[in-house]
Amino acid sequence: MIGKPENARYDVAVVGLGYVGIPLALGFAEAGCRVLGSDADEGRLLELQQGHSPLAHLPSSRIKACLASGHLDFNADHDRLSEAAAVIICVPTPLRRHHDPDLSHILDAGAQVAPHLRRGMLVSLESSTYPGTTREELLAVLEKGSGLRAGVDFALVFSPEREDPGNHQSVLGDMPKVIGGLTPACLERGEELYGRVIKHLVPVKDCDTAEAVKLTENIFRFINIALVNELKRIYSSMGIDIWEVIDAAKTKPFGFMPFYPGPGVGGHCIPIDPYYLTWKAKEYHYDTRFIELAGQINRSMPYYAVNHLLEALNSAGRALHGARVLVLGLAYKPGVSDDRGSPSYDIMDLLAAKGADVEYYDPHVPRIAPGRNHWSGRHSIPWSDHELKTFDAAVVCTPHRGVKYDELADHVPLIVDTCHVVPRNRTAKIVDA
């Protein structure tokens, strides 16, 4: 066992306060731990210090209650990290332009933590990444900046996050959590920390294995979504409804798990994480052919939707050029405001490139955030009969609950439905795509 530092002011510091870090910090604070939250974005820290939640699905009241109880403290001062018994790093792991991993946030966070490492501290990485990141990359930065040895002077673990945004049934403590340590003693420290908030820990052999578990989970989704997307295209040509097929197939009590087709894949995880393995596998002379193929199919889906719209307009003697088209849903999945990597943007780009007049509606994304992409600053249209009647066509990309799809189908004459949510008994012509 690596002895814990004595008199630590904080039980845990969370570095990176986003979709993963905020619920985690709250989970520890609500369990009675003293928590320090730190983020490179000063605006975000200020917002959190004032008790405002930047995440639409997470109520500010939870943050305010933790601040009021004295269990949660947000601070930009890195010196404070030395007052924590453990540091959990939850920073982004995006892809670079040519689909290779961008570890810069992990390495920067490691470099911030290193000078404040003390004997006995635990460092846990939660960011999704390729096997070897914790053992090779993070370890090197921490040891270099601290002069301490991982596994001897301080403990190092990797424990992937399984946050499921928008799923209100998903509670941090109830979600089984995988954890791997650099050494058995590191694992023991990690289990002691996470055991305070997580009911079921799943220890694995080492950090590399834990990293591989996370990638495997997301690659599984990525490939299965591509499979149903391909089946949708094939069955549609045969006049078979993929949605009816899936509904019937999922009555099989074993050996089948439903995945649903859509306009592509989005978000910060599923379209990105598989390529972390693709990159690392090359070091071992492997090509990740399944991943590449699934990526090609998923990326082709926005073109498939737009082509269906083009053909439907053409059959009605209309052109896409000059048509007023509503894209319904910018978030990458229902019930969330997260529009990162959303295929809706690909569809908007394709429509605009063909001369359509494009607007969007999303109750969770009233305005496209600054710096998101060239659509930044655009607002969602207000929902009204009068407004809907101004459109020639709509493309439904995100199956948000609470949207009045019947009104859409009453007022917009042509709808490309990638999510199978629009009622078929209205006046609009509905095209599945």
Surface-to-core class of residue 100, CB atoms within 10 Å of its CB (0-12 exposed, 13-18 middle, 19+ buried): middle
* Stretch near ligand NAD under the rule CB under 6 A, chosen from 27-35, 122-130, 178-186, 395-403: 122-130
Q: How far is the CB of 197 from ligand NAD (least distance, A)?
A: 16
138 touches 111 (CB < 8 A)? no
Query: Closer to ligand NAD at the Cβ: 19 or 361?
Result: 19
110 touches 148 (CB < 8 A)? no
Q: How far apart are CA 243 and CA 225, in angstroms?
A: 13
**Residue listed under structure tokens 């510091």:** 13
**Binding status of residue 163 toward ligand NAD by CB under 6 A:** yes
Q: How far is the CB of 46 from ligand NAD (least distance, A)?
A: 12
Among 127, 159, 229, 344, binds ligand NAD (CB under 6 A): 127
**Bridge partners of residue 326, in order along the sequence:** 359, 394
Q: How far is the CB of 126 from ligand NAD (least distance, A)?
A: 6
Among 2, 13, 14, 17, binds ligand NAD (CB under 6 A): 17
151 touches 182 (CB < 8 A)? yes
220 contact partners, CB below 8 Å, separation of at least 6: none
Query: Closer to ligand NAD at the Cβ: 43 or 255?
Result: 43
Query: Closer to ligand NAD at the Cβ: 61 or 167?
Result: 167
Query: Closer to ligand NAD at the Cβ: 73 or 161?
Result: 161
Closest-CB residue for ligand NAD?
18
Q: In sequence order, what DSSP letters do the residues of 193-258 get, joined into one string?
A: HHTTT-S-EEEESSHHHHHHHHHHHHHHHHHHHHHHHHHHHHHHHTT--HHHHHHHHTTSSSS---
Q: How far is the CB of 189 from ligand NAD (least distance, A)?
A: 21
> DSSP code of 135?
I
Strand pairing category for 122-125 and 86-89: parallel
Q: How far is the CB of 268 from ligand NAD (least distance, A)?
A: 5
Per-residue binding string, ligand NAD, 263-282, x by CB under 6 A, is -----xx-------------
**Binding status of residue 29 toward ligand NAD by CB under 6 A:** no
What b-and-e string marks burial along 390-411, b requiring 16 or more CB atoms within 10 Å of the CB?
ebbbbbbbbbbeebebeebbeb
| Catalytic residue check, 269 | yes
Maximum pairwise Cα distance, the chain: 77
Exactly one of 33, 66, 207, 269 is catalytic; which is it? 269
Q: How far is the CB of 111 from ligand NAD (least distance, A)?
A: 8
**Bridge partners of residue 124, in order along the sequence:** 88, 157
Q: How far apart are CA 366 and CA 343, in angstroms?
A: 18
Tell me the number of residues near ligand NAD by CB under 6 A.
28
Q: How far is the CB of 108 from ligand NAD (least distance, A)?
A: 4
Among 5, 12, 14, 21, binds ligand NAD (CB under 6 A): 21
**Of residues 77-116, those binding ligand NAD (CB under 6 A):** 90-93, 105, 108-109, 112
Query: Closer to ligand NAD at the Cβ: 211 or 359?
Result: 211
Query: Closer to ligand NAD at the Cβ: 27 or 304?
Result: 27
For residue 404, which of 365, 363, 344 has the smallest C-alpha distance?
363
Per-residue binding string, ligand NAD, 362-401, x by CB under 6 A, is ----------------------------------------
**Of residues 30-59, those binding ligand NAD (CB under 6 A):** 38-41, 44
Query: Closer to ligand NAD at the Cβ: 18 or 203?
Result: 18
Q: How far apart are CA 224 and CA 216, in angstroms?
A: 12
CA angle 308/313/314 to nearest 5° reads 95
Among 27, 165, 274, 295, binds ligand NAD (CB under 6 A): 165
Q: What is the contact surface with ligand NAD in residues (CB under 6 A)? A: 15-21, 38-41, 44, 90-93, 105, 108-109, 112, 126-128, 161, 163, 165, 268-269
Residues annotated catalytic, as ranges: 269
